[in-house]
Amino acid sequence: MSRFTAPIAEQIWDMKYRFKGADGTPKDVTVEDTWRRIARDLAQVESKADVWEDKFFNALEDFKYLPAGRITAGAGTARRVTLFNCFVMGTVPDSMSGIFDMLKEAALTMQQGGGIGYDFSTIRPRGADVLGVSADASGPLSFMDVWDAMCRTIMSAGSRRGAMMATMRCDHPDVEDFIAAKSDPARLRMFNMSVLVTDPFMEAVKADGSWDLVFGDKVYKTVQARDLWNKIMQATYDYAEPGVIFIDRINAANNLNYCETIAATNPCGEQPLPPYGACLLGSINLARLVAQPFEDDAHLDQDAMSELVATAVRMMDNVVDVSNFPLPEQAAEAQNKRRIGLGVTGLADALLMVGLRYGSDEAAAQTEAWLKAIARASYLASVELAKEKGAFPLFDAEKFLASGTMQQMDDDVREAIRAHGIRNALLTSIAPTGTISLYAGNVSSGIEPVFAYAYTRKVLQKDGSRTEEEVVDYAVQMWRELKGDAPLPDYFVNAQTLSPADHVKMQAAAQKWIDSSISKTINCPEDISFDAFKDVYMQAWDTGCKGCTTYRPNDVTGSVLSVSSEKSDKAPADSPDQVSEGGEIVYMSDPLDRPAELEGNTYKVKWPDSEHALYITINDIVLNGHRRPFEVFINSKNMEHFAWTVALTRMVSAVFRRGGDVSFVVEELKAVFDPRGGAWMQGKYIPSILAAIGGVIERHMIATGFIAGEGMGLKADPQAKVVGLDAPRGKSCPSCGQFDMRMVEGCMTCGSCGHSKCSG
């Protein structure tokens, strides 16, 4: 009998976590083999390895404890990968050689599968003097472009590209450019971005005071704090980035504030880490711990939870000793502090099973109580480990107990730490669990609400056909099994029906007993007003959150996945043979015929290190009094370019001749990267020669008035909307192609295959 409760769970296991040989032959025949592989590997450092292997297996069995994907896929495989999810890299020196040393370290880390975070606040602002060179600094964003191109070339372990977080202080002179960076959809695609917001800045925002932008001892500019805050809010309202990290609050609450300063986080924000900091992740599956679900006496089994937490803490502590590390500095940092990030998943399902509405005051109080119990159990388990194996090397009892988090801990826990020390400096974190939640039977993810009670998923079969299967939330499936066709109670709510205030309430309730941070998305309706949107962030600040990430569906960020199976009875707005309101954009069923003469321009592109230049000719046609691109020709004496330039010109010209707003071609070309590296052209990093061609086409479209300015073309093909009459839906998954992408825990995640932009 299969341990999997849903077909999607077994498929995720097979795709993501099942150990297979180089030829694809499964080494893990069953999921029990996977659990045994992990348990045996993590027990190898124990003096009684056989005993602990069985205990670890029991914790993994039936998906009660879910190690993060890196551990589940990598432990016991003998593959040279890191089992750690999260890294923050070393402080970036303000020198060219130091910056590129950091770039190399980032590449080595992502090559082994780690997601990384960087604080770019240490690089001098654009236009600052560069001593001894007689030049002006290009600024941190120019170097972020280099990091972005590098990340595109590194494939993380487990066929997942590396993910990166970039942070910048709210008082850096280039912070306004940082805030606006994602307004260009082709730029910095591999980064998540967050502004480090300080306590004095928030006080200045509330008081409508002035704010200095400073580097070193020099004030470069003074702005109104509220104006800068509004720029952050407008950017995330429009583009879902940057996020906001309340960095002073993080440092004040850090158990290790006596020996480290934090200025960056991992890609999803739940792990604030010091330079070379590393953390591993795992989750207690609360949905598996509810006794008598949906009955009057439904409750979380506290004894079972405490026992499970203690075993999980021991397993995670052992990961520190068995894992590889990309860099020796990361290994030393992990050994000195032994940070772990134990969190939860299935919270929303567990709340449903005990009859509570996610977002209600009662649910928030219950969440706080459960997470306090987990925190207590984690810290006491770590004390027991310290008795047996010793405290973490940098432990200082008085300084540790005086930290922000520890001051609120119960007296018995504090006294146990004072007497015996503690094995792990930090223990709790709420990580993204999108994929492992699917693997566990589609339990609700992390502390997020249920996204959808059920949806239909198309599955590609070996013969090329597609079949449909229903994917049902774990709690809903359990309700069906226990209650039959009885209607769901009114306390069943989902991410689309909750108010942003309810989301923030739940994040704040969870944060109180989490010593690191939380990966959570505050879903906002598309029509939320800008003022109400700003209130969400102020509520997060006022209620003690360490950061805030929102998602408002729109034309830029993408629509929320439609969970309805009904077909729309309305034709799409941009149907064939339609002329737009302005009259200049024409959509045609058949391509345009070429007139005998066309007006055009020719542009020269000299790619560095290339012997011959490219000459790009763009010809236009005039329709309704407006000039629009019609065809492209590319010529070069370099015969290596011949085949691909001919293919490119034929394809682009074919697109141009069909009509419509073809500016999306520019964005597609600008996003192409060359794994051998790009080049600097006219003070800007261009990731490939194809991106350079896209830039030329864009400049031509601007000059002819087809688009208004750089980065202002369409981000996607508008004709894609004409292909079917389905209800609006989100972006397609780059891994499986399904229209099942949703923002969960601060990261775009596919509900069909578990693909995530973020590393984890």
Query: Looking at the annotation, which residues are catalytic?
Result: 266, 268, 270
Distance CA 584, CA 622 (A): 9
Q: Using an 8 Å Cβ cutoff, are 286 and 367 in contact?
A: no
The DSSP annotation for 515-530 comes to: SS-B---EE--TT--H
Residue 583: DSSP 8-state? S
Q: Is 135 helix (H, G, I), strand (E, B) or coil?
A: strand
Radius of gyration of the chain (CA): 27
Distance CA 142, CA 125 (A): 10
Q: How many alpha carbons fall within 13 Å on the CB side of residue 327?
A: 24
Distance CA 41, CA 322 (A): 8
The DSSP annotation for 345-388 comes to: E-HHHHHHHTT--TTSHHHHHHHHHHHHHHHHHHHHHHHHHHHH
Secondary structure string (H, E, C) spanning 400-425: HHCCHHHHCCCHHHHHHHHHHCCCCC
Distance CA 657, CA 29 (A): 54
User: Which sign, positive or negative, has the C-alpha torsion 528, 553, 498, 190?
Assistant: negative
Q: Which residues of 709-734 are buried (b: 16+ CB within 10 A; e: fewer)?
A: eebebbbebbbeebeeeeeebbbebe
Residue 172: DSSP 8-state? S
User: Nearest 5 degrees, angle CA 558-CA 564-CA 565?
Assistant: 115
Distance CA 685, CA 727 (A): 39
- Cα-to-chain-centroid distance, residue 48: 39
